[in-house]
Amino acid sequence: GAIRPSKGVDILLEACQLLLERGMNFHLELMGRAPEPEYAQTLRDRLAQAPWPTRAVWSGELHDGEKWRAYARADIFCFPTYYEAEGLSLVVLEAMMFGLPVVTTRWRGLPDAVTDGETGYLLPPQNASAVADALERLICEPGVRHALGQNGRTVYETRFSLTRWRDRVEDALASVS
């Protein structure tokens, strides 16, 4: 996917700065391609500044096995988007498929997948403090992190898996005949 300011990258970096100030230990992996070269350079510069080099990496655009391995090594998925054309984001469903708790915004179609306090946290857009608070809770409370991730996996399996999609398409086609 694309990395741009309205996907919440700057909000996430601000939240990470707050986590650093709170003494939290974490590692951030950003994934995606920055279609605007100026923003890509700004992001590279920001990540190169101390203390980011030891805490964050920008993996770029990942595909197939690389992307699945990135999800598998993650503990939390954070997507504080306020992107104008956002709908129900595929990356959120992929994170739920991997049993990751999702920290995202109460924006467009995202509340259709993520239930606040059950599969992750839905936060107000452009609120780095709220993102930092949600991330801190998930970092400090592995039981909560695990429970939200497992609940998300169950929601993925019952509502969004390929098998479930095929069943709904078959039902829809059968109802038209």
The identity of residue 117, as a single letter, is G
- Specify the DSSP class assigned to residue 32: S
* The pLDDT of residue 51: 82
pLDDT at 53: 75
**What's the pLDDT at 140?**
98
What percent of the chain is modeled with pLDDT above 90?
92
Mean pLDDT per 10-residue segment, the chain (177 residues): 94 96 96 96 90 87 96 98 94 98 98 98 98 98 98 97 91 89
pLDDT digits (tens, 9 = 90+) for 114-124: 999 999 999 99
Q: How far apart are the first and last CA of the chain?
A: 38
Which residues have a Cβ under 8 Å from the Cβ of 105 and sit 6 or more positions away?
8, 79, 80, 81, 82, 122, 123, 124, 125
Helix residue ranges per DSSP H, the chain: 9-21, 37-48, 64-73, 90-97, 128-140, 142-155, 162-176
CA distance linking residue 170 with residue 71, whole number of Å:
30
Q: What is the pLDDT of residue 131?
A: 98
pLDDT at residue number 19: 96
